[in-house]
Amino acid sequence: MKRNKNYPFFTGLFIIAALWNLIGAGFGYFNTEYTFQGLFNRTLNDPLFYEIYKGAWGTTLMFFIGYLLVAYNPIKHSGVALIGGVGKLAFAVAELKLFLSGLANELILIIVIGDFLFCILFIYYFLKLLTNKETII
């Protein structure tokens, strides 16, 4: 697979997105109970809920790899960016709803704001691809 070097800004963007996801997964996937306690001020003692919550962070971990692929070739792997961007938007909205309903504390706003910022930058990425007549997969 040949690396595409025509979009260095987007290479950097997706490396940062990958690191953002790795940091999140470092907490949520590898230290699940601590992260849940920190965001929701309650213990995570239900085994089913534990697996579901950890699984959500597992998706975050998988997109660490996905965003590295996009960074390597921003044109070829635009489909990964599209799925990841939709996921980031859905995750940010869900987390914001948890905060607004009083189920999560202010710490969750780090995730919400970060993911919304990435969504904005991903929109810019897609607009740039479209204006350059690149194929979005």
**Domain membership of residue 23 as a residue range:** 8-131
Residue 136 lies in a domain: no
* pLDDT confidence band for 5 (50 / 70 / 90): confident
Residue 137 lies in a domain: no
Q: What pLDDT, in 10s, does the model give residues 23-74?
A: 999 999 999 999 999 999 999 999 999 999 999 999 999 999 999 999 999 9
Instruction: Decide if pLDDT at 4 tops 90.
Output: no
Q: What pLDDT, in 10s, does the model give residues 106-124?
A: 999 999 999 999 999 999 9
Structure tokens at 61: 């971990």
Residue 85 lies in a domain: yes
Residue 44 lies in a domain: yes
Residue 51 lies in a domain: yes
Residue 74 lies in a domain: yes
Torsions phi, psi for 73 (to 5 deg):
-145, 90
For residue 52, what are the contacts with CB-CB under 8 A and spacing of at least 6? none
Residue 1 lies in a domain: no
* pLDDT confidence band for 6 (50 / 70 / 90): confident
Structure tokens at 27: 């907490």
CB 42 within 8 A of CB 49: no
E-strand ranges in the chain read none
Domain count across the chain: 1
Residue 2 lies in a domain: no
The pLDDT value recorded for residue 137 is 84
